[in-house]
Amino acid sequence: MPFPGKILLRNRQLFLAKWRAIARQEQRPELLESGWKKYSLALVRELLAKGQQEQASETARSLQALFPDDFAVASMARLASLS
């Protein structure tokens, strides 16, 4: 019987292969992109609009740790820190 870790790895590989094939066939590479950054930037904007500067700044810092070279993330982090 395979170990759970091996099963998870195999399932991940099958899942990625399936979606890579779909993205290639449909000529839609954006299907493979995560929406995490876009969602998080929208969340920071929403928090700032609600006046929740501390939470916005904390969220922006976390996002900046994941995307240190991204201009949009750096800009939002700077805006959150100034608010």
From first to last of its 83 residues, the chain has per-residue pLDDT tens of: 667 788 999 999 999 999 999 999 999 988 888 888 999 999 999 999 999 999 999 999 999 999 999 999 999 999 999 87
**5, 29: one domain:** yes
Question: What is the pTM for the complete model shown?
Answer: 0.68
Distance between CA atoms of 65 and 11, rounded to whole angstroms?
A: 29
**49, 74: one domain:** yes
**1, 28: one domain:** yes
Q: How many domains does the chain have?
A: 2
**24, 41: one domain:** no
Per-residue pLDDT at 45: 96
Distance between CA atoms of 49 and 74, rounded to whole angstroms?
A: 18
The DSSP output letter for 33 is S
Per-residue pLDDT at 1: 60
**41, 26: one domain:** no
Domain hosting 17: range is 1-33
Distance between CA atoms of 19 and 72, rounded to whole angstroms?
A: 27
Question: Using only C-alpha atoms, what is the Rg of the chain?
Answer: 18
Per-residue pLDDT at 4: 78
**29, 43: one domain:** no
**42, 75: one domain:** yes
Sequence-distant (≥ 6) Cβ neighbours of residue 72 within 8 angstroms: 37, 41
